Amino acid sequence: RTALQAAADGGFKDVVELLLDYKADVNAPPATVFGRTALQAAAGSGNLDIVEILVLEANANVNALPAEQYGRTALQAAAEGGHLEVVRFLINYSAKIDSAPGEKFGRTALQAAAGAGWVDVVDLLLTKERFLVNSDNEDPAEIGGRTAIQAAAAGGHERVVEMLIAAGADVSAQPAANYGTTALEAAAHGGHEKVLRQLFDAG
């Protein structure tokens, strides 16, 4: 990764500003595996001040594509980390809520937040784009993907499962082609009895 990506990930604001002064490439692409652009790294770490610098002063690409493996857009990274204020900021600056997940083990913003159990972030995303639940069911990453409810079920996040069901999530959505799992399988594998009951009651 680049020096700027490393500084953004570590939350070193002064170093980020110094590197930008010396013309560091704010939009340098991420490494193929686990890579992050500077903005994706800052968003994933919840560093709102650095996110603001990168977007407002350095014109970072808010919708830069995620890395191929385990990649996240800036919004997906912020959602996965539960960083509500960063999520709000990025949405206000035209981050695409429905950006597709990275090909291998990627997550949409909703899938990422649901899998981590961030109720406030899930609520915000559902409020902004109600249709996400249904489009999300059709678009998990091909390898290791999860729909939002599959991700929430795997983590045993009862409140998120409840919210997604109320929003119309398909509890019987098909798993990803490779390394996928249904919501029922995910909940059972994790021993999440209450989530299993929720899914049975909804299905």
- What's the confidence (pLDDT) of residue 177? 86
Using 50, 70 and 90 to split pLDDT, how confident is the model at 130? low
- What's the confidence (pLDDT) of residue 60? 98
Surface-to-core class of residue 92, CB atoms within 10 Å of its CB (0-12 exposed, 13-18 middle, 19+ buried): exposed
Task: Go through the domains of the chain in sequence order and give each one's CATH number.
Answer: 1-96 (1.25.40.20), 101-203 (1.25.40.20)
For the segment 74-89, the average pLDDT, to the nearest whole number, is 98
Burial 160-178 (b: 16+ CB within 10 A, else e): bbbbbbebebbbebebbee
Q: What is the pTM of this model?
A: 0.94
- What's the confidence (pLDDT) of residue 11? 97
For the segment 61-71, the average pLDDT, to the nearest whole number, is 95
Q: Could you tell me the CA-to-CA distances from 180 to 105, 120, 134, 188 in Å, in that order?
A: 10, 26, 18, 14
Cα–Cα dist 30/130, whole Å:
30
